[in-house]
Amino acid sequence: MKQTKLLIIGGGPAGYVAALRAAQLGAKPLVVEAAELGGVCLNRGCIPTKALIESAGLYRTITGAARQHGLNVGGVAIDLETMVKRKEAVSRTLRDALGVLLPSRGIEIISGRARFTGPREVAIEPVGPAGGLPTGGPEERVAFDQAVICTGSSPWHPPIPGLDLPGVIGSDEALALTEIPASLAVIGGGAVGCEFATIYAALGSRVTVIEMLPNLIPTEDAELGQALRYYLEAQGVTVITGARVELVERLDPATDVEAGKGAALRIRLATADGLRTVEVQRVLAAIGRRPSTAGLDLQAAGLAVGRRGEIPVDAGLRTGVPGIFAAGDVTGGILLAHVAFEQGIVAVENALGRKAQFSQGIVPRCIYTDPEVAAVGMTEAAALEEGYEVAVGRFPFANSGRALAMGKPEGLVKVVAEKASGQLLGVHIIGPHASELIAEAALALHHGSSIDDFARVIHAHPTLTEAVKEAVLDARGEAIHK
């Protein structure tokens, strides 16, 4: 039987970062991965979607905004095959780099599916390349001193009739389409759904986004959701909120007005105004995700999952079984790769005898639509619910010299602060490069900065970051350029 002091199950964001941190601390961890290194984020999530978003955004710029810059570009056509190949190459480059980096740090990698056979032992079933079918080879038993479970999450679909029909796809399939659908309905107006709406609307699909709650991106500040709806609709996207999907059904082929291009599926919706239908060529289910624990045989280790299928952990990422930790999406918290990075570090540091804690109070949240959305800290509604008397500041990018020069005046920065003390509580951005701008706000919240602290920081001109400072100043009625 193989022995290891530190076993890491899963080579995604939590797992590979945990392994690299462990190597920095002098350990030689063993990583078991059933598919590709990098997990969903690198191979089927964060990275490939952003690659496609860049391609789609470039096409939109060339065919639209370029004219405003005096650039008349003719003969532009979409080569979806090349676009997809580029996306795959970006992921492959990063995945191959991990395949070199981890072994160079003394980290052993086994391709296989791990399942617990006891509180200090797993059996590993070998699999083929890139998480293919089991090879049929013998299982390998591994005994461990400490283990970190980092098996991530998988798509979750509610029991809606028809979601298993041909033409209904998930995010994995949406990343690998061989042709652009003439019409696409996206069920789910969260981050994933809105990002794919952005991609395919830019590439020419007639896109409809369907969200059950009153606003798009419903976990974010309501103003951002309302603004995003405005900008998506300006790009030709139809947005339906407050609608529950009751059924997806296949249309009679005779209704196809053009072979391969006409509507193939009908979605039946229940809205406040009654029943409504949407007919499209394809449906993308982007409804949610759930922790991936299937096949781990957690009960053999003495572990039980929580109500949502998550592995419960404390602030040190310890499970209920001594010596077993969990990190990343499998813990059921905020399902973001950068959260998984930090949790992997905290878990492995504790597994190796250090004392570390994870706090999810200040986590930047980014959505890569056009324009981008980013936020950190409390929404205005959440602050009011917690009893704060708030001061709110706003600054539109239409008043930003840099945004206007870039030809990207859409959006605004919104700041929520405690009225009496001026302490920053949350910053919310929709606009150009919001995902980069939010880092300054996260740092300010991390250090407990107040409006006065922020106001004293000189921001370079002309930059987009000036809009953040102006919004902070506006929270006390002192914005200069508004």
Kind plus residue range of the DSSP H or E element containing 383: helix 380-385
Q: Is 363 exposed, middle or buried (0-12, 13-18, 19+ CB in 10 A)?
A: middle
Round to whole Å and give the CA distance between 449 and 329: 30
Round to whole Å and give the CA distance between 262 and 258: 5
- What is the chain's percent helix, strand, coil content, to nearest 5? 35, 25, 40
- Count how many residues are written for the chain: 482
How many C-beta atoms surround the C-beta of residue 453 within 10 A?
15
Round to whole Å and give the CA distance between 342 and 360: 10
- Classify residue 198 as left (phi > 0), alpha (psi -120 to 50) or beta: alpha
**In 3-state terms, what secondary structure has residue 282?**
strand
Cα distances (angstroms) measured from residue 137 to each of 114, 125, 127, 128: 14, 8, 8, 10
Residue ranges of alpha helices (H) inside 175-325 are: 191-202, 222-234
Give the angle 261-264-270 at the CA atoms, nearest 5°.
130
The one catalytic residue in 69, 157, 461, 481 is 461
Structure tokens at 241: 């909120």
Evaluate whether 380 touches 426 at the Cβ level (below 8 Å): yes
Omega within 30 of 0 (cis) for the link into 371:
yes
Evaluate whether 40 touches 152 at the Cβ level (below 8 Å): yes
In sequence order, which residues have a C-beta less than 8 Å from that of residue 353 and are 6 or more positions away? Answer: none
461 is catalytic: yes
Pick from 151, 47, 55, 127: which is nearest to 95 by CA? 47
Give the catalytic positions in this structure: 461
